[in-house]
Amino acid sequence: MPSLPEIMHRAFFRALSLLSPAGQEVVLRRYFDWRHRVPDPWRLATDGYEQEKYRSTLRQLPARPYRRIIEVGCSEGVFTRALAAAYPEAEIIGVDVSERALARARRRVPEDGRVRFIRADILTHRAEPRFDLVFCSETLYYLGRHERLCRASAQLGGLLGPGGVLVAVHPWPEAARLHRYLDAHASLSRLTEQVHTACARPFAVTVYGTRPG
């Protein structure tokens, strides 16, 4: 059962998603700049639970020589730094709607040509379908209503190049609903899902591959 604060949180973001995509982006940008008025608002860099979640996510990735990685909703770059260490040859792009979060991400993982951070909204961002690893964690529940989740799924799937891998990580059991939008994407096929329940806040790591076109 979701808690009352969780129900109110989701209702708030569903209400925001009644705005046009451009209007939603403006409000999300302001909201997440405000949320990042203090460093690391979700304690991603220090909370043992978050660190363990990152480690189990990395363990679940199919072993491949990823060259082009994008992390959507990267916040202050905590997981981006882990990706940069795990794949030292890869070009890595972190995307977030909050410029304030990205200013801290750039201090955490200096942009050196290999790692870059871009301020953009996943719902409106235009990017080439050229990534061989797309990562989206703890972000889809901010996008709100059905139509925006369909759009987000199309956007995420559209980032993948041939043979690419997409990984989504969200709280369980809500992940079952959120990841269904990715299941519905014509060019994605689900490879694995691990549900981690032996922790205070259960979560699912779902891995997709591209269907041969």
Ligand X SMILES: C[S@@+](CC[C@H](N)C(=O)[O-])C[C@H]1O[C@@H](n2cnc3c(N)ncnc32)[C@H](O)[C@@H]1O
Rg of the chain (C-alpha set): 16
Q: Is the Cβ of residue 30 or residue 211 nearer to ligand X in the bound state?
A: 30
* Residue 176: CB minimum distance to ligand X, A: 18
User: Are 124 and 22 within 8 A, CB to CB?
Assistant: yes
Burial 72-90 (b: 16+ CB within 10 A, else e): bbbbbbbbbbbbbeebeeb
* Residue 126: CB minimum distance to ligand X, A: 13
Q: Is the Cβ of residue 70 or residue 97 nearer to ligand X in the bound state?
A: 97
Nearest residue to 27 via CA among 135, 116, 148, 126: 148
Closest-approach residue to ligand X (CB): 73
**Restricting to residues 7-36, which ones interact with ligand X according to CB under 6 A?**
28, 32
d(CA 155, CA 73): 13
Among residues 97, 105, 115, 205, the one that binds ligand X under rule CB under 6 A: 97
Q: Is 138 in the site for ligand X (CB under 6 A)?
A: yes
Q: By the criterion CB under 6 A, which residues form the site for ligand X?
A: 28, 32, 42, 44, 73-75, 78-79, 95-98, 101, 121-123, 137-139, 142-143
